[in-house]
Structure 1
Amino acid sequence: MRFLRRSLTGVFLLAVTLALVAWAGEMVRGAVVARMNEEPRSFPQRERILAVNVLTLEPQTIVPELTVFGELRSQRTLDLRSAIGGTVLSASDALVEGGTVRQGDLLLRIDPVEAEAALARVRADLHDAQAELRDAERALVLAEDELSAARAQEALRDQALARARDLATRGVGTAAAVETAELAASSAQASVLTRRQSVASAQARIDQATTRLARQQINLSEAQRAVVDTEVVAAFDGTLTEVTISPGGRVTANERFAQLIDPTRLEVSFRVSTSQYARLLDENGVLIKAPLAVTLDVSGVNLRATGQIMREGAAVGAGQTGRLLFAELDASAGFRPGDFVTVRINEPALNNVALVPATAVAPDQTVLVVGEEERLRVAQVSLLRRQGDDVIIDVGDNAGAVIVAERSPLLGAGIKVRPIAPGGVEQAAAPEMITLDENRRAKLIAFVTEGRMPDDVKARIISQLEADEVSSETVTRLEARMGS
């Protein structure tokens, strides 16, 4: 009996288990069939609206700013050189690197012993030349006196010859007397010729002495200048640099021992491209004197000076491009020659233009305009200048248009957007309100009550649904979750 009871219990449990497995399989099969026979749930599709930053194209007059880099240089720079060689006898205390001097200050004195000795020798030679000139003048006077005496003797000899000939004609004189008189006259003529040659020689001696005296006077001037050149003075007010000499040293002729720079008369040289240079020309092709500003950032402190363009380089250097321009600075406190500065040049003003972010203009020079129904359309513009992160465009027929300030790959023609004004906050559009019938309201409240939401959220949504008018967006969202 005991075995039979246990056997029946096992059969019973097996039958119950098989029945439960069959029931579970039927439930699974029914659920799968019901799921496959269901109609697919449909969700309402809504157009995607993108929020964009916009700005309005307002025509205005803008002065473009051209930014380049340049180097400061002094308009007055002088190499200090020694005209003569010698030992440095003394030097000014200001003859050091960075020393400040005034015009006429004595900078350097070279030992003048050699120069003064040369001057003394030249003066002695000058005295010799002056004595030679005086001696030549006295010799000329004597030669002229001797010539006068010879001419007087010639006249007497001519008179004697005339008497001898007259006597011979009358038969009183002899032929021998006439010949003697002729010989005497001829000798007197030769004496006159000799004295004339002596006078000519004396005059030539005076000319030579005069030339020698002139040479010695020139040598005297050079010797005096050499003595003066033993002292080097400052030609103008300025600052010394590259000083390479000190007292006791020795310099050679034409050796540069320092450089004098005027730091108050600075100019800036900078290079611009050919297209930028063309924008700085007037209608006659002449470079305009455009105003500019020069800045130098020194440890967070900006040094600034103003000026204007004065001239341009005569030729383009080998291996260079563009044009080299020079500008004179009005005031240059704190600047020094050699500073690498930023130059900002004011170009001629542009009319009927607008300044917009560079992100608003596409590479093909188009912008996105917010049109009707807040949909985008493409408009063509003309890019005139680039100003850092901004650009200047020609407004043209787009005056007053609202354009997208920051383009992205998601934006294009026909896209609907929500404009955000510059500096403003996006304003949410007022929700559309609808009135629910009681049956529809009850279904929505029941869905929210049975849903898996926090209690505070349920209370807030139910309070909205119990109002007379409910947001259509809230109703659409809940019904989409309900699958109806």
Structure 2
Amino acid sequence: MRFLRRSLMGVFLLSVTLVLLAWAGNMVREAVTARLNEEPRNFPQRERVLAVNVITLEPQTITPVLTVFGELRSQRTLDLRSATSGTVLEASDALVEGGAVTQGQLLLTIDPVEAQAALDRVRADLQDAQAELRDAERSLLLEQDELSAAQEQANLRAQAVTRARDLQERGVGTAATVETAELAASSAQAAVLTRRQALASAQARIDQATTRLARAEISVSEAERDLSDTEVFAAFDGVLADVSISPGGRVTANELIAQLVDPTRLEVAFRVSTSQYARLLDGDGTLITAPVRVALDVSGVNLVAEGQITREGASVGTGQTGRLLFARLDSSPGFRPGDFVTVSIDEPQLDRVALVSATAVSADGTVLVVGDEDRLQSVAVDLLRRQGDDVIITVRGLAGQTIVAERSPLLGDGIKVNPIRPGGSETEPAEPEMIALDADRRAKLIAFVNEGRMPDEVKARIIGQLEQEEVSSETVARLESRMGS
């Protein structure tokens, strides 16, 4: 009896287990079938719209500014050197580094003893030469007188020969008398010749004395110049540099004492590339006198001077490139030769161009134009100049067009953007379209929101919108797309 009861109990439990397994298997089958028969949900992808900064291209005339670096130089620089050697007796108080001097100011006096002694010697030689010349002139006068006397004597002897020949022809005189008279006349002519030679020697002596006097005068002039060279004067107004002498020191001939610099007549020397140089030429290939601005940053305070280009270097120079240009400064307070400065040069004007940020132009020379429906289009432009963080481009065919001011890797052809214009904000979005919902549709949407996995505050906000008389069509479309209906 007990066996039968336990057997029936086991059969009953087994039957119940089989029924439960069959019921569970049927539920799984129905769930799988229902899942397979459901229509797939469609979640449409929304297009991504990027906000970008844009600018409008307006044709304008721009003067490009070329920025280079240069060094200031003085147009008047003089090396002060000692023309003679000796000991420095006196030196001006201004003969120091940075001392300001005026034109004609005495800077240095060298011991003049040796120069004065040399001058005295050549002056004595000059007196000797003058005395020699006077003696030669007196000798010439005497020789001239002696020549005159000899000539008169010769004339008398010639007359005596004539009388002796007349007497011989009359038969009164003898041949011996005539011969004696002729010998006397010949002796007189020889004496005249001797006096002429003495006269020529006297004249030559005068020439020699004159030459000696000229040499003595030259020596005196040189000695006086050497004496004056013992004093060094300032040739023009300026400032002294590289001073290397003081009172009591000894200098040698041609030794550099100091350098005199005129700080008011400055120019700047700067080097530009060949392409930059070509932009500073006119139609005839001549360098234009372009205006320049020179700036020196001194502890946050900029010293600025203006000027214009005056000339260019004669040659490029060994190991150099480009061109060396020089610009004269009109007024340069605070500047000094040797300053390393920034030079800004105004180039010829460019017409129908625009100045944009360098980030607006890509490496291949294109810009992104905002076209229809705020979609981007890549357009090639000519990059003419770089101006710091900006560039100058041609506006050819893009006048009035809007371009992207700051490019990024996310931007490209066909991308839709939300333009942000300078001084403004993003484009105001269009007002959403509102629609009225029937009760059944509204109930389905509210039930979907309640069943969804959203935060409670989000559910409350969306349900609040759905309970309004008119609901945004965008909200309804978004919810229904998630419902799959």
Q: CA deviation at 1:26?
A: 7.1
Question: For residues 425 and 468 of structure 1, what CA distance do their matches in structure 2 show?
Answer: 32
Q: TM-score, normalised by structure 1?
A: 0.93
Q: TM-score, normalised by structure 2?
A: 0.92
Question: For residues 293 and 57 of structure 2, what CA distance do their matches in structure 1 show?
Answer: 29
Contact 1:433-1:469 at 8 Å conserved across structures: no
Distance of aligned partners of 1:70 and 1:161 in 2 relative to their CA distance in 1, 3 Å threshold? same
Matched, 1:474 2:475: yes
Q: CA deviation at 1:483?
A: 4.1
5+ long unaligned stretches in structure 1: none
Contact 1:433-1:471 at 8 Å conserved across structures: yes
Question: For residues 30 and 228 of structure 1, what CA distance do their matches in structure 2 show?
Answer: 130
Distance of aligned partners of 1:290 and 1:14 in 2 relative to their CA distance in 1, 3 Å threshold? farther
Question: For residues 94 and 18 of structure 2, what CA distance do their matches in structure 1 show?
Answer: 119
Q: CA deviation at 1:299?
A: 1.7
Contact 2:308-2:327 at 8 Å conserved across structures: yes
Is the partner of 1:184 in helix, strand or coil? Answer: helix
Kindly, what percent of the aligned residue pairs are identical?
Answer: 76
Is the partner of 1:221 in helix, strand or coil? Answer: helix
Could you tell me which amino acid in structure 1 is paired with residue 386 of structure 2?
A: R
5+ long unaligned stretches in structure 2: none
Could you tell me which amino acid in structure 1 is paired with residue 106 of structure 2?
A: L
Alignment of 1:130-141 (within 5 A): 130-141=130-141
Contact 1:129-1:213 at 8 Å conserved across structures: yes
Per-residue CA deviations over 1:26-75 (Å, capped at 9, x if unaligned) read: 76676566545544322022222222221111111111111111111011
Question: For residues 29 and 332 of structure 2, what CA distance do their matches in structure 1 show?
Answer: 94
Distance of aligned partners of 1:412 and 1:163 in 2 relative to their CA distance in 1, 3 Å threshold? same
Partner residue in 1 for 2:372: 372
Q: CA deviation at 1:111?
A: 0.6
Question: For residues 294 and 21 of structure 1, what CA distance do their matches in structure 2 show?
Answer: 97
Alignment of 1:71-470 (within 5 A): 71-435=71-435, 436-470=437-471
Distance of aligned partners of 1:9 and 1:74 in 2 relative to their CA distance in 1, 3 Å threshold? farther
Distance of aligned partners of 1:301 and 1:23 in 2 relative to their CA distance in 1, 3 Å threshold? farther
Question: For residues 382 and 482 of structure 1, what CA distance do their matches in structure 2 show?
Answer: 53
Contact 2:98-2:241 at 8 Å conserved across structures: yes
Contact 2:101-2:238 at 8 Å conserved across structures: yes
Range that drifts further, 123-132 or 170-179: 170-179
Q: How many residues align?
A: 484
Q: What is the root-mean-square deviation of aligned Cα atoms in Å?
A: 2.7
Question: For residues 21 and 238 of structure 1, what CA distance do their matches in structure 2 show?
Answer: 117
Q: CA deviation at 1:455?
A: 3.9
Range that drifts further, 386-395 or 217-226: 386-395
Is the partner of 2:213 in helix, strand or coil? Answer: helix
Range that drifts further, 63-72 or 447-456: 447-456
Contact 2:316-2:323 at 8 Å conserved across structures: yes
Contact 2:272-2:322 at 8 Å conserved across structures: yes
Could you tell me which amino acid in structure 2 is paired with residue 425 of structure 1?
A: S
Contact 1:431-1:472 at 8 Å conserved across structures: no
Contact 1:68-1:272 at 8 Å conserved across structures: yes
Contact 1:118-1:223 at 8 Å conserved across structures: yes
Could you tell me which amino acid in structure 2 is paired with residue 239 of structure 1?
A: V
Could you tell me which amino acid in structure 2 is paired with residue 90 of structure 1?
A: E
